[in-house]
Amino acid sequence: MAGKQLPRPRTPSAGARESAARTRWPRALRRTPVSLWTDDVTDWAAALTYYAMLAIFPALLVTLSLVGLRDPDDVQNLIREIGALVPPDSRDIIEETLRSMARRRSAARLLLVLGTVSALWSASSYLAVFRRALYSMYRIKDQRPVWRTAPRIVATAVALLTLLAISALALTVTEGLARAAGRLAGAGDAAVAVGLAFRWPVLLLVATVLVMLLFRAGPESTRGVRRMAPGGLLAVFLWLGASVGLYLYMAQVGAYDRLYGSLAGLIVFLMWLWFSNLALLAGAQFNAELARTP
């Protein structure tokens, strides 16, 4: 008995490993809603909404100023395009705010400088909160000093704001380019329709790139396109679904104008921002669950 060897532990068969790999995504997806609750993700989304609200209008102010340098008429076109991206109940207040900002020509340079500084600070604060949320989801303590993380956060903020500005500029020049191409090709309005339809996939691609940049703020072991792509795609689709759902709700049931009066548009815009950030965090949480699922 003393010389009897203990049986070796059985290793999973190839079939068992294949079955586990096949069910990995569904198992991680089932755990994601529970983890969203236990990790206080709704609170993180509220904090991100606060900093996003602080960053959006200074960033738009800078973008409007840059567009105005090229062609003042494009400013109004850009305002209309931005209004088309937000919930209809918020459209009037957003467009009126942007028009008021665009009319302040007397202090254009000062507003440009102040807007750039404010947008960069708010975007950096947003990324810092997003980074803390990611580390919390992965149950990893961030031990790197501030002097090492701050430059990376600021650089990422610059990249995000640059992409947003490029996207806004693309909205203003797409129609003009499509009309010019239509005249050269003799296609007329058909070329404009194709050009206007083509910009939405491009904007969706830009949104995906923005999400991937945000996810890179997490722990080093979670970076890489293969690790970030599942949650990134889920976040984009959840954002689209939340935007459509909020639009349908406000169109059919919404009574915020009776509850909040003139503030209804702002309240709806804040709700849309909160749902957007919750979609981003849900995608990140799904990646965290995938990392913990064998």
- Give per-residue pLDDT as tens, 36-59: 999 889 999 999 999 999 998 888
In angstroms, the Cα distances linking 162 to 105, 165, 170, 227 are 23, 5, 12, 25
Q: Round to whole Å and give the CA distance between 136 and 232.
A: 18
Among 5-14, 54-63, 215-224, which stretch is predicted with the lowest mean pLDDT?
A: 5-14
Q: What is the mean pLDDT of residues 275-291?
A: 94
Q: Read off the pLDDT band of 220 (50, 70, 90).
A: confident
Query: Where residue 1 falls among pLDDT bands split at 50, 70, 90?
Result: very low
Check: CB of residue 32 under 8 Å from CB of residue 231. no
Q: Which residue carries 């059985």 as its tokens? A: 10
Q: What Å distances lie between residue 164 and 41, 83, 117, 209, 250, CA to CA?
A: 25, 15, 16, 11, 27
Task: Give the 3-state secondary structure of residue 15.
Answer: helix
User: Which residue type sits at 242?
Assistant: A
Over 80: is that where the pLDDT of 294 sits? no
Average pLDDT estimate for 74-97: 78
Report the predicted TM-score, pTM, of the whole model to 2 decimal places: 0.81
Q: How far is CA 128 from CA 39, 122, 150, 234, in A?
A: 17, 10, 8, 22
Residue 142 DSSP class? -
CA pair distance 4, 6, nearest whole angstrom: 7
Are the C-beta atoms of residues 241 and 8 closer than 8 Å to each other? no
